[in-house]
Amino acid sequence: MLGNGKKISISLGNGIVVKMPELTIALDPKSNSECKYSFVSHAHLDHVHSPKGVSKVVASKETVSLARARGYDLSRSVEQIPGMELVDAGHILGSRGALIEDRVYYTGDVSTRDRGFLKGFRGVKCEILIMETTYGRSRYVFPDINSLAHEVNKFIAASYDRGLPVLLTGYPLGKAQIISRLFDTWEPVFLHHSVFKMNSEYRALGVDLKEFEEYSQPPDFERVMRRGPWVMIAPSFSRSSAFVGDIVKNYHASVATFTGWAVDLCRTYRSASEKQQYHDDDEEEEEGFRRGGGRKTRVEYFPLSDHCDFRELVELVKYCNPSKIYTVHGFAKDFASYLNSIGFDAEPLSIEDDQMSISMFAT
């Protein structure tokens, strides 16, 4: 532990660089760091890199495995270094926050909510909190997980009643595994190959996920898929991928997309809890889906996230009770302003600020 009077500096550059008297570490650097240590909080691609330099990487063993599956070699990393404790961040399997010298806590991407097999982050007391604020505006409040699952089950049941399959989409690492657990009572369930790969990794790491068949397209498989409704878990649609559009066109599948940003798509979010809604042709085109065989595609968005919502971020700060807070990612400015309005000392950590000053603490 550091004694009083010792300075800490925190800056943003290649990751967040924390300099303590005894330890200098880069938190989630984008590339090789010059710091003695680098911390990789989890295996999402915006947080992981393939280290080749002198910096010693700190990461959980699950993050090392998941990163390897995605083509990143963290095999020379360690799980522990003196003066730093890794804490489960509840974001995806293996995600960790870092408590440095018992004074500075970095959340990484974080969720305080229990979801399926994942336990939410419980919080740690700290002097300085560096926190992600992806959903740092008050409008981002997510529903209870059980009521959300209930709405989704109704959505799937409605499609099955019409004899139509359902696509459940979310990012393949993290979200897709929560979806796989929450909706594993439906049959049959198929997995897009990217989801199949990540589910297999989770299972190998000890997560009890049901084994589902990988989607493929031999002729007999086609017959199976035409026999009756099914569920498929796949990556979210992006304009660069025609996969979801093709599935929708070929099988008239309904689509449920899971993202915290569903709150912004209030038209469809409301429809999830208040009424069913079918998009008109223009909207289908806008979303990248086409009309198939004279049927309309049913598309809904459900606010399931692996991040804290606004209220959870506030609760997290209150629990940690730091004397200084730095916000990063998403609505960092807005959330810092809110924290200041309720009596905390907060500011967004930004590259621009880095040019002017490095935050210094002397306690």
> From the centroid of its chain, how far is CA 104?
23
Contact window for Zn ion (CB under 5 A) among 67-75, 101-109, 233-241, 342-350: 101-109
Contact window for Zn ion (CB under 5 A) among 38-46, 185-193, 245-253, 310-318: 38-46
Contact window for Zn ion (CB under 5 A) among 15-23, 36-44, 229-237, 265-273: 36-44
Contact 20, 104 (CB under 8 A): yes
| Shorter beta-carbon distance to Zn ion: residue 2 or 40 | 40
Could you say whether residue 109 binds Zn ion (CB under 5 A)?
A: yes
Rounded CA-CA distance 136/153 in Å is 29
Task: Provide DSSP, 43-69.
Answer: SSTTT-----SSPEEE--HHHHHHHHH
| Shorter beta-carbon distance to Zn ion: residue 181 or 307 | 307
Could you say whether residue 300 binds Zn ion (CB under 5 A)?
A: no
Where do we find the tokens 């998941």? 66
**DSSP bridge pairs for 361:** 8
| Shorter beta-carbon distance to Zn ion: residue 169 or 297 | 169
Residue 130 backbone phi and psi in degrees, to 5: -110, 115
| Shorter beta-carbon distance to Zn ion: residue 109 or 312 | 109
Contact window for Zn ion (CB under 5 A) among 10-18, 19-27, 44-52, 199-207: 44-52
323 conformational bin, left if phi > 0, alpha if psi -120 to 50, beta if neither: alpha
| Shorter beta-carbon distance to Zn ion: residue 236 or 359 | 236
Q: How many CB atoms lie within 10 A of CB 360?
A: 10
CB of 92 to Zn ion, least distance (A): 6
Going by the DSSP 8-state scheme, the letter that residue 35 receives in this structure is S
CB of 109 to Zn ion, least distance (A): 4
| Shorter beta-carbon distance to Zn ion: residue 44 or 113 | 44
Helix (H, G, I), strand (E, B) or coil at 237: coil
**DSSP bridge pairs for 130:** 106, 326
CB of 42 to Zn ion, least distance (A): 6
* Peptide bond between residue 188 and the one before it cis (omega within 30 degrees of 0): yes
CB of 171 to Zn ion, least distance (A): 9
Contact window for Zn ion (CB under 5 A) among 37-45, 193-201, 314-322, 330-338: 37-45
CB of 44 to Zn ion, least distance (A): 4
| Shorter beta-carbon distance to Zn ion: residue 38 or 159 | 38
Overall size of the chain counted in residues: 363
The pairing of beta strand 359-362 with beta strand 7-13: antiparallel
Structure token digits, residue 253: 């599948």
Structure token digits, residue 167: 């696509």
Contact window for Zn ion (CB under 5 A) among 62-70, 104-112, 256-264, 320-328: 104-112
| Shorter beta-carbon distance to Zn ion: residue 29 or 245 | 29
Could you say whether residue 49 binds Zn ion (CB under 5 A)?
A: no
Could you say whether residue 44 binds Zn ion (CB under 5 A)?
A: yes
Count of residues touching Zn ion (by CB under 5 A): 2
CB of 354 to Zn ion, least distance (A): 22
| Shorter beta-carbon distance to Zn ion: residue 44 or 279 | 44
**DSSP bridge pairs for 84:** 81, 100
Contact window for Zn ion (CB under 5 A) among 52-60, 69-77, 105-113, 332-340: 105-113
Could you say whether residue 28 binds Zn ion (CB under 5 A)?
A: no
Residues 6 or more apart whose Cβ sits within 8 Å of residue 169: 233, 234, 235, 236, 237, 244, 255, 256, 257, 258
CB of 313 to Zn ion, least distance (A): 15
Going by the DSSP 8-state scheme, the letter that residue 307 receives in this structure is S
Interface contacts to Zn ion, rule CB under 5 A: 44, 109
